[in-house]
Amino acid sequence: CKPIQRIRLHESSTTRRLYHATVLPSMVYTTSPEFVSKKQAMDSLVEELEAKTAKARLGGGAKAQERMKNRGKLLPRERLALLLDPHTPFLELSSLAAEDVYSDYIPGAGLITGIGRVSERECMVIVNDATVKGGSYYPLTVKKQLRAQEIAREHGLPCVYIVESGGAALPHQANVFPDKEHFGRIFYNMAQMSALGIPQISSIHGISVAGGAYVPALADENVIVQNQGRIFLAGPPLVKAATGEEIDDESLGGGSMHSTESGVTDALARDDDEAIARVRGIIGDLGQAGYPGASPTEKTEDPVYSPEELHGIVGTDVRQPFDMRDVIARVVDGSRFREFKKDYGSSIVTGFAHIHGYPVGIIGNNGILFSPSALKATQFILLCSQRQIPLLFMVNVAGYMVGSKAEKGGIAKDGAKMVRAVACADVPKLTVIVGGSFGAGNYGMAGRAYSPRFLWMWPNAKIGVMGSGQLSQVMTSVSKDPNQHATLKSEIENQSTALYSTARLWDDGIIKPTDTRDVVGLGLALASRRPGSSARTGRLNATWDGTGTGFGVFRM
């Protein structure tokens, strides 16, 4: 009998061109008046963002920095720079947290957080900025630290805590201490992560008092700087009041006592430099602990079109439309995109691409969400979940369609299908708000409540239950207080801005449009470390007894 003949199908260049990811065409005229005016508006917003970020990075300012220097200490960002491997990227999170929130200026909420490489290993780094109110914890400082820990847990990132903090900001104690997502949760997270095998390392460079004393105490391994780091449950004044004992800081909680007598610390460093070098040594010796990431599946390749053009494509007015494909073309490798269901539900764009060599399924908005768009997005989310491909949401959504025609067509149930799919998809989700994120469109497009691994905003982005104009119109019809209407519109406008959002940690930071590709690329690299539902105890595609499918009941 004849051996089975193997037929090899050769791909012709035509099939490759037609059916694989192809370079997106782009018809952007960079000299058109529309492009130029959009660009100018976005340029000035980006400049404003850069200025605010640069100011926040100075922490408590020149005087507070000088005080720290005079005490022979390194500044928080100097400690950070020493910790990180030279010339490696640092993905800083929420650098404008707490901006314009408190009556005092609390730059970055008095805390620096971000993901960087330490001794060739990606780590979550959390640094107290003692130049800002003694590094004490305001409500948003706690929120920022908890968010950093959440990201660390989701991605299996070892945590490094560079500690120097006066503990809870006492006037705010009611909003930092008692509740579930308050101070105690920091230590709960440390204990949980340590149990999961995610290393918790700390170095103590200044006072670490009361609640703060538990950061080093709960670390797996720690280092303290002599004559500088201090750990105690209560400082000398409180000890005197409570017990009558008179004692100085150093004898009560200094490094040499803790390293030789109490055993609260594991190593004594002569100064900041040595402490950081020791932390680098600890991280270098972690062995198999932690979770390695996957390598990119493709060779990375720059987009064909310049990301600089994003400013003139999008602009700053959310009412001005643009084609999300023009944005995708400036973010993905080689500007190549294999579009899914291109001719159906055209107000949403779905398709496959690579960013820095990592595969990704992209969902982008091109208008209001109608039933077909919601159904198409739902199918695409199911496809990506099935194939374990991370999802990137590029958001510019005014919401789901309203009106009797849409209601009769079942927009509520079709929108709910998309929301359900987003909520249950067991793949990493990344969200970038490029324009508006309004109404239930925010839910369907993986808003904060849908636990995307990261959520970033562009400086022009707007977020709210609806646009400020619509909202004040609705209020006019339901409220009888005319005074309220006058102020409401401008109040809502202010509350919808990216700056307002980022100050309150509704996102992980405002990014420049031109940085989108690199930032999302880092996000995908991190997501490859733990592609499944890492933060939960079990996988979602099983019910409590390990059987069944994972999406619940789609309303048909």
Residues near ligand COA, by CB under 6 A = 133-134, 136, 166-170, 207, 209-211, 235
- Of 90, 72, 70, 66, the closest CA to residue 80 belongs to 90
Min dist. Cβ of residue 218 to ligand COA (A): 16
Q: How distant, in Å, are the alpha carbons of 55, 59, 82, 364 from that of 484?
A: 35, 37, 52, 36
User: 528: Cβ–Cβ under 8 A, 6 or more apart, which residues?
Assistant: 293, 294, 358
Residue 133 or 153: which CB sits closer to ligand COA? 133
Min dist. Cβ of residue 68 to ligand COA (A): 8
Min dist. Cβ of residue 61 to ligand COA (A): 10
Residue 91 or 130: which CB sits closer to ligand COA? 130
Min dist. Cβ of residue 111 to ligand COA (A): 14
Residue 235 or 447: which CB sits closer to ligand COA? 235
Min dist. Cβ of residue 209 to ligand COA (A): 5
Residue 21 or 168: which CB sits closer to ligand COA? 168
| Segment 254-262 long-range contacts (CB within 8 Å, at least 24 positions apart) | 254/226, 254/227, 254/229, 254/230, 255/204, 255/224, 255/225, 255/226, 255/227, 255/228, 255/229, 255/230, 256/226, 258/224, 258/231, 259/224
Min dist. Cβ of residue 235 to ligand COA (A): 5
User: 535: Cβ–Cβ under 8 A, 6 or more apart, which residues?
Assistant: 150, 153, 154, 451
Count helices and strands in the chain by DSSP H and E runs: 22, 16
Q: 3-class SS at 419? A: helix
Beta carbons within 10 angstroms of residue 521's beta carbon: 21
Which residues are 113's β-sheet partners? Answer: 93, 126
Structural contact between residues 218 and 190, judged by C-beta atoms closer than 8 angstroms: yes
Half-sphere exposure of 444 (CA within 13 A, CB side): 34
Q: 3-class SS at 153? A: helix
- Of 225, 55, 230, the closest CA to residue 135 belongs to 230
Residue 116 or 211: which CB sits closer to ligand COA? 211
Min dist. Cβ of residue 167 to ligand COA (A): 3
Cα-only R_g, the chain: 26
Min dist. Cβ of residue 74 to ligand COA (A): 14
Separation CA 468–CA 457 (nearest Å): 19
What are the DSSP calls for 527-545, one per residue? HTTS-S-TTSSS-TTS-TT
Between vectors from CA 364 to CA 362 and to CA 367, what angle results, nearest 5°?
160
The H-or-E segment that residue 318 falls in is none
Residue 206 or 523: which CB sits closer to ligand COA? 206
Separation CA 537–CA 478 (nearest Å): 44
Residue 230 or 512: which CB sits closer to ligand COA? 230
Where are any strands of DSSP class E within 264-347? 268-269, 336-340
C-alpha dihedral, 186 to 192 to 198 to 203, nearest 10°: 40
Residue 134 or 447: which CB sits closer to ligand COA? 134
Separation CA 457–CA 511 (nearest Å): 6
Min dist. Cβ of residue 164 to ligand COA (A): 8
Residue 235 or 364: which CB sits closer to ligand COA? 235
- Of 436, 300, 423, 312, the closest CA to residue 364 belongs to 436
Residue 209 or 418: which CB sits closer to ligand COA? 209
Min dist. Cβ of residue 283 to ligand COA (A): 27
Min dist. Cβ of residue 170 to ligand COA (A): 4
Separation CA 169–CA 124 (nearest Å): 24
Residue 166 or 435: which CB sits closer to ligand COA? 166
Residue 234 or 423: which CB sits closer to ligand COA? 234
Residue 235 or 435: which CB sits closer to ligand COA? 235
Q: 3-class SS at 339? A: strand
Min dist. Cβ of residue 266 to ligand COA (A): 23
Min dist. Cβ of residue 552 to ligand COA (A): 44
Residue 131 or 460: which CB sits closer to ligand COA? 131
Q: Which two tokens stand for residue 21?
A: 């990811």
- Of 118, 114, 180, the closest CA to residue 147 belongs to 114
Min dist. Cβ of residue 499 to ligand COA (A): 24
Which residues are 462's β-sheet partners? Answer: 436, 497
